[in-house]
Chains A and B, each alone.
Chain A
Amino acid sequence: AQKVTQAQTEISVVEKEDVTLDCVYETRDTTYYLFWYKQPPSGELVFLIRRNSFDEQNEISGRYSWNFQKSTSSFNFTITASQVVDSAVYFCALSEEGNAGNNRKLIWGLGTSLAVNP
Chain B
Amino acid sequence: ETGVTQSPTHLIKTRGQQVTLRCSSQSGHNTVSWYQQALGQGPQFIFQYYREEENGRGNFPPRFSGLQFPNYSSELNVNALELDDSALYLCASSRGGSTGELFFGEGSRLTVL
- A-to-B contact residues, CB < 8 Å: 4, 33, 35, 37, 42-47, 50, 52, 91, 93, 95, 97-98, 100-111
The chain B residue with its CB closest to the CB of A108 is B42
> Are the C-beta atoms of B100 and A91 separated by less than 8 Å?
no
> Are the C-beta atoms of B96 and A102 separated by less than 8 Å?
yes
Interface residues in B22-79 by Cβ distance below 8 A to A read 31, 33, 40-45, 48, 50, 55-56, 58
Q: Tell me, rounded to whole Å, the shortest Cβ–Cβ distance linking A67 to chain B.
A: 20
> Are the C-beta atoms of B56 and A104 separated by less than 8 Å?
yes
Q: How large is the interface on B (under 10, 10 to 19, 20 to 34, 35 or more residues)?
A: 20 to 34
> Are the C-beta atoms of B100 and A104 separated by less than 8 Å?
yes
The chain A residue with its CB closest to the CB of B42 is A108
> Are the C-beta atoms of B100 and A43 separated by less than 8 Å?
no
> Are the C-beta atoms of B107 and A33 separated by less than 8 Å?
no
> Are the C-beta atoms of A42 and B99 separated by less than 8 Å?
no
> Are the C-beta atoms of A103 and B33 separated by less than 8 Å?
yes
Specify which of B55, B88, B102, B107 is in contact with A106 (CB 8 Å cutoff): B102
> Are the C-beta atoms of A47 and B50 separated by less than 8 Å?
no
Specify which of A42, A93, A101, A111 is in contact with B106 (CB 8 Å cutoff): A42
Q: Would you give 23 A-B contacts (Cβ < 8 Å), ordered by A? A: A4-B42, A35-B101, A37-B104, A42-B106, A43-B88, A43-B109, A44-B105, A44-B107, A45-B90, A45-B92, A50-B101, A93-B42, A98-B99, A102-B96, A103-B94, A103-B102, A105-B33, A105-B48, A106-B43, A107-B45, A108-B42, A108-B43, A111-B41
Specify which of A44, A100, A103, A109 is in contact with B104 (CB 8 Å cutoff): A44
A2–B40 CA distance with the chains assembled, in angstroms: 20
Given A43-B106, A103-B48, A95–B90 Cβ distance below 8 Å?
Answer: no
Specify which of B42, B58, B99 is in contact with A105 (CB 8 Å cutoff): B58
